[in-house]
């Protein structure tokens, strides 16, 4: 079995309060990105590739972009382990990840891989878990992981695990994603934020046309990270100057994305960022 694993955008992200357990409550809007990459309409690749096949003993192989961590900390391995703990009857498989999505990008690539493994093992085992049950397993791996079980536009609260599908369709819009050579840890991202209720309700803002989002839909991490990583603000500013109708950082960065009405407009803007990783995605 082979699965093409897409990424996600945080169209907006508000950090509303710090909890007693040290974590933060968020309000965010997840949107899948990369679903159409590799098709004739959007031929450039933007996904990871997972393959799981029966084997005499369970083994893991990693290809493509280097994932620099020990096996026991790799989310693909951890997903297999937590599935086996939940379903001891699991057989033996060769699990191969071909990594292409950029790391530390705020796009949820690692979380997507983990949830992809859970979904594939669930199917190979005859669907012992519902989506809701699989999402509970996925939460053990990370706050972003449950989203990729559903993989549809969702409003999220809590640490990102309380998901409600939303009626938001950006079909036909084009997204330009630009990632500079900047790495941001979760610790750094949260260190400078001051939790507060947003001025504009995210639930209300998404009812507007995307060309009305700028200034109303925000990512609270930008306030703390832009002063320390000016390249991110520069990318966002240049995105808007070159035709993006909405631009933002995704998650805790360091990818900045812009929304465009046409592929021509997005491709024209991409040429401004030849010195960075940049790709186009049809939404």
Task: Give the pLDDT score at 213.
Answer: 96
Average pLDDT of every residue of the chain: 93
| Cα distance between residue 43 and residue 217, in whole Å | 30
Q: Decide if 142 contacts 23 (C-beta within 8 A).
A: no
Give the architecture-level CATH label for domain 174-282: 2-Layer Sandwich (3.30)
Q: What does the H/E/C string look like for 189-251?
A: HHHCCCCCCCCCCHHHHCCCCHHHCECCECECHHHHHCCCCHHHHHHHHHHHHCCCCEEEECC
Sign of CA dihedral 113, 124, 52, 283: negative
Residues with catalytic function: 8, 144
- Answer whether 2-165 and 174-282 agree in fold: no
End-to-end alpha-carbon separation of the chain, Å? 25
Where are the domains positioned within the chain? Answer: 2-165, 174-282
pLDDT in tens, 56-71: 999 999 998 887 788 9
H/E element holding 115?
A: helix 109-124
User: 228-232: long-range contacts at Cβ-Cβ below 8 A with a sequence spacing of 24 or more?
Assistant: 228/188, 228/192, 229/182, 229/184, 229/253, 229/254, 231/180, 231/182, 232/180, 232/182, 232/256
pTM of the model: 0.93
Q: What is the distance, to the nearest Å, from the Cα of residue 138 to the centroid of all Cα atoms in its chain? A: 14
Angle formed by the axes of helices 75-86 and 131-139, to 10°?
120
Task: Give the pLDDT score at 21.
Answer: 78
| Topology classification of domain 2-165 | Ribosomal Protein S5; domain 2 (3.30.230)
pLDDT in tens, 64-120: 888 778 899 999 999 999 999 999 999 999 999 999 998 888 999 999 999 999 999
Average pLDDT of span 238-248: 97
Q: Decide if 73 contacts 110 (C-beta within 8 A).
A: no
- For residue 118, what are its two tokens? 């859970």
Task: Give the pLDDT score at 240.
Answer: 97
What does the DSSP 8-state code read for residue 56?
A: S
pLDDT in tens, 164-218: 999 999 999 999 999 999 888 777 888 878 888 888 889 899 999 999 999 999 9
229 confidence band (pLDDT: 50, 70, 90): very high
| Cα distance between residue 222 and residue 255, in whole Å | 11
Ramachandran bin of 151, using left for φ above 0, alpha for ψ from -120 to 50, beta for the remaining angles = left
């Amino acid at each position: 079995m082979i699965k093409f694993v897409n990424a996600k955008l945080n169209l907006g992200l508000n950090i509303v309060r710090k909890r007693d357990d040290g974590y933060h409550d968020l309000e965010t809007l997840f949107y899948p990105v990369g679903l159409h990459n590799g098709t004739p309409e959007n031929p450039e690749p933007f996904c990871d590739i997972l393959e799981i096949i029966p084997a005499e003993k369970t083994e893991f192989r990693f290809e493509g972009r280097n994932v620099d961590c020990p096996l026991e900390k790799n989310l693909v391995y951890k997903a297999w382990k937590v599935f086996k703990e939940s379903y001891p009857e699991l057989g033996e498989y060769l699990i191969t990840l071909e990594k292409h999505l950029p790391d530390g990008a705020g796009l949820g690539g690692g979380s997507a891989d983990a949830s992809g493994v859970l979904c594939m093992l669930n199917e190979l085992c005859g669907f012992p878990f519902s989506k809701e049950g699989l999402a509970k397993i996925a939460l053990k791996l990370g706050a972003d992981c449950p989203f990729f079980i559903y993989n549809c536009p969702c409003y999220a609260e809590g640490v990102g695990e309380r998901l409600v599908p939303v009626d938001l369709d950006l079909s036909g819009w084009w997204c330009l994603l630009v990632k500079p050579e900047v790495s941001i840890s979760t610790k750094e991202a949260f260190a400078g934020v001051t939790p507060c209720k947003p001025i504009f309700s995210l639930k209300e803002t998404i009812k507007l046309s995307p060309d009305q989002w700028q200034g109303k839909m925000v990512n609270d991490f930008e306030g703390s990270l832009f002063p320390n990583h000016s390249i991110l603000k520069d990318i966002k500013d240049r995105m808007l100057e070159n035709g993006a109708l909405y631009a933002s950082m995704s998650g805790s960065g360091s990818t900045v994305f812009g929304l465009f009405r046409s592929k021509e407009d997005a491709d024209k803007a991409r040429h401004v960022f030849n010195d960075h990783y940049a790709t186009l995605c049809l939404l």
